Amino acid sequence: MFYRIIRGDMRAGKLITLTTLLFVTAAAMLVSLSAILTVNLTGAIETLMMQAKTPHFLQMHSGELDRVRLKAFAEQNSKVEAYQVLEFVNVENARIVIGGKSLADNVQDNGFSTQSGKFDYLLGLDGKVITPADGELYVPIAYMKDGTAKAGDKAVIAGKELNVAGFLRDSQMNSLLASSKRFLVSEHDYTAIQSSGSTEYLIEFRLKDLSMLGDFKNDYTAAGLEAGGPTITYPLFKMLNAMSDGLMIAIILLVSLLVVAIAFMCIRFTLLATIERDTREIGVMKAIGLRVSDIKKLYLAKYAGIAALGCVLGYALSLVFRGMLLDNIRLYMGGNEKASLTLLLGLGGVVLVFLAVTGYVNGVLGRFRRISAAEAVRFGTVQDKSGGAKQLRLSANRLLNTNVFLGVKDVLARKSLYATMLAVIIIAAFVITVPRNLYNTISAKSFITYMGVGNSDLRLDIQQTDNVAAKAAEVAAFMEKDPSISRYAVLATESFTALREDGTEERLKIELGDHSIFPVKYAEGRAPAADHEIALSVMNAEELGKQPGDVIMLKTGAQTLELTVCGTYSDVTNGGKTAKAAFASQSADVMWSVIYAELEDKALVGSKAGEYADRFSFAKVSGVDEYVTKTFGSTISSVGTASRIAIVMMLLISVLVTVLFIRLLVAKDRYLIAVMKSLGFTDADLRVQYFARVAAVLVIGIVLGTALANTLGEGLSGALIRSFGAASFKFVVDPLAAYLLSPLLLAGTVLIATIIGTAGTGKITISGYIKE
Amino acid sequence: MKKIIAADHIEKVYGHGGERRKVLNGVSVSINEGEFVSVMGPSGSGKSTLLFAVSGMDTVDSGKVFFDGRELSALQENELADLRRRRMGFVFQQPTLLKNMNLLDNIILPAMRDHRKNVKKITERARALMKKTGIEGLEKRDITQVSGGQLQRAGICRALLGSPQILFGDEPTGALNQEAAEGIMSLLAEINEAGTAVMLVTHDARIAAKTERILFMCDGQIVSEMQLPRFRGTELEARMERVVLRMRELGI
């Protein structure tokens, strides 16, 4: 009898048993893969950063450099183990030609350097430190991957001919997310190129103890040393290296969670249906004195079997596919020796999936306790204890068509069965809506004001040049006379030292000028207007512990300014740590300047940008749209892609789950269907009843899912956006798409799936199921 | 007397290949309006199959079945459903009532399919039938809260609500104790008296003895028929003896 129950169960639900197996296999494979990838990635990063001796503290600097003062600081500071200054010459992309093609379209800042002496080595693909001979050029690995260069190519750098001898791994700038790339040449060739670009310095420190990094940072700032560029520390390098593959792992993990959830749903469907069908048998078993745990074992055995098979298959598949996904890590970071550990951890992940599945089955089987032996044996069914359905009386129904009424009542009567389907619809509506809204929000023009960029037409950047202030003034003077420009604003960024309450100092880059012309979005407060006001980016405000109304002390030259924080705003530029003020600075020490302009005729953006670029060769001119595309374009398009993938995935999953669910319901309701038919209900009537059931679930699911998307989803997206520096995030919702088209699409798909699922009702004969 | 059902040489085969079994082997039978007919025979003789075939709930492999002059195999699935709902009533051995619905809702269910607007009238008629069948006051009871006999009565109410021309019963008393069975039988007799034809499948001579015509089946064929005067509550023992004797003669 026991064996029959299990076999009968499998046979009745061949499709769903197979689907369950499929999803368990996929889940096991993905979990195992992400475990294997994680271990490999962390191992590889560690190995790379150890071999390359990545600096613990890096200060980039362009401009004058006082080597004597730096050396003295390094020698006197007890935390420093090693110190060096590397030179790095930035060459314009158009003047870098590899294999006959220039890098003019490349978005990276490309520069050249020699091999380092003490640490921060550039490594070959064999993990060894490269020593280039004269005439040899080593190219960043990313350019091998994207096909920009191959070994043996001829390269011409600012007129100097070199030969691509190989590729290098750079523990600092390997990642595509790092905006610079280092090429390696010999000392001799470096000297030849040096005059063709602008030199930047990498001031690097290795510390005796990495945990002292925070203190060391303060020491460096307090000493007032060179700081004409970003500061990057060891943990950030690590993160940059981990980011792209880490994201892939995170996505695989997320997908595997989704797959596990679907596997759970399949299991839940089958189990609930089986339990309902076998209620009488279960009651009989209870009646003859079998324990609940004995009965559970029978059913558990089947799922343990499926889970075990799925996990073994999944693990095997993960071993097959791991090579493919590890290629990227191997290429960028080199191999990782701990192969046996990765296999073990992959196995651990698979075991986890197995335990989760069997644990879940065990949980669902807990329902056996609720089956009363007497009720089950007598009626072959257990009454749902929920009262909701009882309130709905056919005799009191004036509103709904009888078939629709029966459908709705069935949903209320068997809530737990439909809850699973409801969960799927809620998740589907949520997953469809959130990325869509996010995409809509970030692609809206107003979104750039979240990003610390004023809503203007033209943007001119003047940086990496001397005499920034004079050049900015020159542009401003020209704009003043240009009739096609309706308004403009010159903003100059200077570096100041802020005094914290505890007396320590903090470097603060402040953008000075009139911020009222092209305002950004303020999370709190408003733009600085008076001389004594300052607005802080959200990240800076958090770091300094300041809120609007607080006072901040600023050292400028010999005097100290007392400024009141008037607002905080979102910013993603310059690492999110900026400040804005309106006071006039005495110093001419402008780090960079940005000029925003608005045109009378928006159609002229392209030609005006060209005109200004020609006239002011020192400035980087871009239309703001173009600026947004260049800066966030890839993000916007990947969110767009993600949202489209999410829609397709969710629709497919909804179809799959609905078809499975309805087929299961039909299989389960065979007797009920036969009775209905014997009473004179047609196939069309039955189909309407199933439609009504699905529609009831759909309406609730879509409403809840959309509501969740606009609350929880907005919060989650906000948190994500906030981590990039943008606060006070609100969805810009396209109501037509979000509240009409998406729900209709989901509803339409699910209803079509219902038609497919109910195709079996016609085949159910009355005599087959009622005849004694 | 007008024929309500006429079956002409119907055959029904189950299984395939070497395991083919002719469950109905060229059966011809007719039932007149207002007639009270029972079908008897051993298990597997084809009684239930005949009932399902002549009521159009199952198809036949050859031969023809007419209901009120219309050939059933020529009808669409929907037309068959309409016939079942409007002109036939069914009572099965197990009361096929739907769970999660009270007795009243179960009874009015098929009628509500067509006449939702007349819910008041339907409900009134259902209550009247419940009173007549002795389950008055149980309207709001759940199907798990009443006895087997009461469930069967509710099933009969449901079958009668649409005022069918014929009521089919597949061992409607099979799952009941004698007292409950007697009650159901007198109810069926009353219904028949009021003009509805009744066709019952049973293997209980006591039940069959209360009908007017008995069809004896064996191996998929009607092997004998017995005509009895209308049962008036007397001479039951004598009628039963006749039935049992005929069964012995037939070896069933």
- Could you report the per-residue pLDDT of B195-217, keeping only the tens digit for each? 999 999 998 999 999 999 999 99
**CA distances to A9, A237, A245, A459, A636 from A108, in Å:** 60, 17, 20, 20, 19
Torsion of CA A391, A394, A400, A403, to 10 degrees: 120
Show the tokens assigned to A731: 């969805």
User: Is B57 at the interface with chain A, CB within 8 A?
Assistant: yes
Q: What is the pLDDT of residue A377?
A: 63
Distance from C-alpha of A293 to C-alpha of A282, rounded to nearest angstrom: 12
Computed from CA positions of residues A717, A721, A723, A726, in that sequence, does the dihedral angle turn out positive or negative?
negative
User: Is B52 at the interface with chain A, CB within 8 A?
Assistant: yes
Q: What is the pLDDT of residue A15?
A: 72
For B79, the closest chain A residue by CA position comes to A682
User: Is B21 at the interface with chain A, CB within 8 A?
Assistant: no
Distance from C-alpha of B158 to C-alpha of B27, rounded to nearest angstrom: 30
User: Is B168 at the interface with chain A, CB within 8 A?
Assistant: no
Residues of chain A with pLDDT under 50: 385-387
Contacts of A230 (CB under 8 A, 6+ apart): A60, A574, A575
Residue B249 three-state SS:
helix
Residue of B48, B86, B112 lying closest to A402 (CB–CB): B112
Distance from C-alpha of A273 to C-alpha of A661, rounded to nearest angstrom: 10
For B202, the closest chain A residue by CA position comes to A772
For residues A739-769, one letter each, b for 16 or more C-beta atoms within 10 angstroms of the residue's C-beta and e for the rest, the string is eeebbebbbebbeebbeebbeebeebbbbeb
Mutate to test the interface with B, among A398, A687, A767, A769 (most CBs of B within 10 A): A767
| Beta strands at A136-140 and A160-170: parallel, antiparallel or unpaired | parallel
Distance from C-alpha of B94 to C-alpha of B147, rounded to nearest angstrom: 12
Q: What is the pLDDT of residue A17?
A: 81
User: Is B58 at the interface with chain A, CB within 8 A?
Assistant: yes
Longest dimension (CA), chain B: 56
CA B144 from centre of chain: 24
User: Is B123 at the interface with chain A, CB within 8 A?
Assistant: yes
pLDDT digits (tens, 9 = 90+) for B68-79: 999 998 988 888
Mean pLDDT of B60-70: 93
Mutate to test the interface with A, among B83, B99, B147 (most CBs of A within 10 A): B99
CB contacts, 8 Å: A679 with chain B: 84-85, 90, 109-110, 158
Residue A87 three-state SS:
strand
Distance from C-alpha of B73 to C-alpha of B188, rounded to nearest angstrom: 29
Q: What is the pLDDT of residue A189?
A: 92
For A679, the closest chain B residue by CA position comes to B85
B83, A770: Cβ pair inside 8 Å? no
Residue of A402, A672, A685 lying closest to B116 (CB–CB): A402
- Annotation: CATH topology of B3-250: Rossmann fold (3.40.50)
CB contacts, 8 Å: B94 with chain A: 772
The nearest CA of chain B is from the CA of A416 a distance in Å of 14
pLDDT digits (tens, 9 = 90+) for A118-157: 899 999 888 889 999 999 999 998 888 778 888 899 998 8
Mean pLDDT value across chain B: 89
B219 phi/psi in degrees, rounded to 5:
50, 45
- Nearest Cα to Cα of residue B126 among B155, B89, B168: B155
The nearest CA of chain A is from the CA of B73 a distance in Å of 15
Tell me if the pTM is above 0.90.
no
* End-to-end Cα separation, chain A, in angstroms: 21
Mutate to test the interface with A, among B39, B65, B98 (most CBs of A within 10 A): B98
CB contacts, 8 Å: B158 with chain A: 679
Residues found in chain B: 252
pLDDT digits (tens, 9 = 90+) for B23-37: 999 999 999 999 999
Mutate to test the interface with B, among A379, A385, A399, A402 (most CBs of B within 10 A): A402
The nearest CA of chain A is from the CA of B244 a distance in Å of 23
Tell me the ipTM for this assembly.
0.82
Show the tokens assigned to A414: 């068997």
Q: What is the pLDDT of residue A373?
A: 66
pLDDT grade for B168, boundaries at 50, 70 and 90: very high
Show the tokens assigned to A33: 């893969």
Alpha-helix residue ranges (DSSP H) falling in chain B: 47-54, 77-87, 103-114, 119-132, 148-161, 178-193, 205-208, 236-250
Q: What is the DSSP string of B145-165?
A: GS-HHHHHHHHHHHHHHT--S
User: Is B175 at the interface with chain A, CB within 8 A?
Assistant: no
Mutate to test the interface with B, among A414, A682, A689, A765 (most CBs of B within 10 A): A682
Q: What is the pLDDT of residue B130?
A: 92
A395, B105: Cβ pair inside 8 Å? yes
Distance from C-alpha of A315 to C-alpha of A334, rounded to nearest angstrom: 24
Residue A725 contacts residue A543 (beta carbons within 8 Å) = no
CB contacts, 8 Å: B85 with chain A: 679-681
Question: What residues are paired with B222 via a beta bridge?
Answer: B217
Distance from C-alpha of A377 to C-alpha of A530, rounded to nearest angstrom: 84
A765, B58: Cβ pair inside 8 Å? yes
A379, B143: Cβ pair inside 8 Å? yes
**CA distances to A462, A572, A576, A708, A724 from A721, in Å:** 28, 9, 12, 18, 5
Residue A409 contacts residue A392 (beta carbons within 8 Å) = yes
For B119, the closest chain A residue by CA position comes to A395
Residue of A383, A402, A675 lying closest to B113 (CB–CB): A402
